[in-house]
Amino acid sequence: MEKVGQPDPSGEDERLSRLFRALSDATRRSLLSRLTLGPAKVTDLARPFRMSLPAVSKHLKILEDAGLVSRAVRGRVHRLSLSGEPLRQVEIWLDPFRSYWEATFAGLRRDLSAHPPRAERRRPRGRRLDSGRNGD
């Protein structure tokens, strides 16, 4: 289990917490989905949303702070691109639980139960790079 005695600020827990918190907003998840299609500038990312530009700007900063997007400033244009690596961290955190939910639904999900618990999982073929959620 984790450390429960000390706060341990800015440690591993903190990073994971920031990551999950960044993912806990539908707008932010939508932005990430959009970015799987390729890098984009802030105004383009903001266009589909009803909210103001500063609001989207803040969301992007949160994603950036979580390490999920990186920013390349060229002139006045900020080009955001997806950094998938932190999501790998999520995957890693998730791993010990995988056998748990697979046990719960053993045999019901062919594509998931096909993989041995805790093993390096193969990516199911034919998955599309789109969450299907939100305004995409």
Which parts of this chain interact with DNA (CB under 7 A)? 1-2, 21, 24-25, 27, 41-44, 50-55, 57-62, 71, 74-79, 126, 128, 130, 132, 135
Contact 56, 62 (CB under 8 A): no
- The tokens describing 46, both together, are 């903001």
Out of 21, 61, 65, 106, point to the residue binding a second copy (CB under 8 A): 21
> SS3 letters for 37-71?
CCCEEHHHHHCCCCCCHHHHHHHHHHHHHCCCEEE
Burial (CB < 10 A; 0-12, 13-18, 19+), residue 45, is buried
Distance of alpha carbon 50 from alpha carbon 10, whole angstroms: 34
61 binds, among DNA, a second copy, none (CB under 5 to 8 A by kind): DNA
85 binds a second copy (CB under 8 A): yes
Residue 113: which H helix or E strand, with range?
helix 110-113
Least separation in angstroms between residue 35's CB and DNA is 13
62 binds, among DNA, a second copy, none (CB under 5 to 8 A by kind): DNA
Rounded to an integer, what is the distance from CA 96 to the centroid of its chain?
Answer: 19
Out of 53, 57, 101, 106, point to the residue binding a second copy (CB under 8 A): 101
Closer residue to a second copy in complex, CB, 71/87: 87
Least separation in angstroms between residue 62's CB and DNA is 6
129 binds a second copy (CB under 8 A): yes
In the region spanning residues 29 to 58, those forming contacts with a second copy, defined by CB under 8 A, are 29-30, 32-34, 36-41, 43-44, 47-51, 55
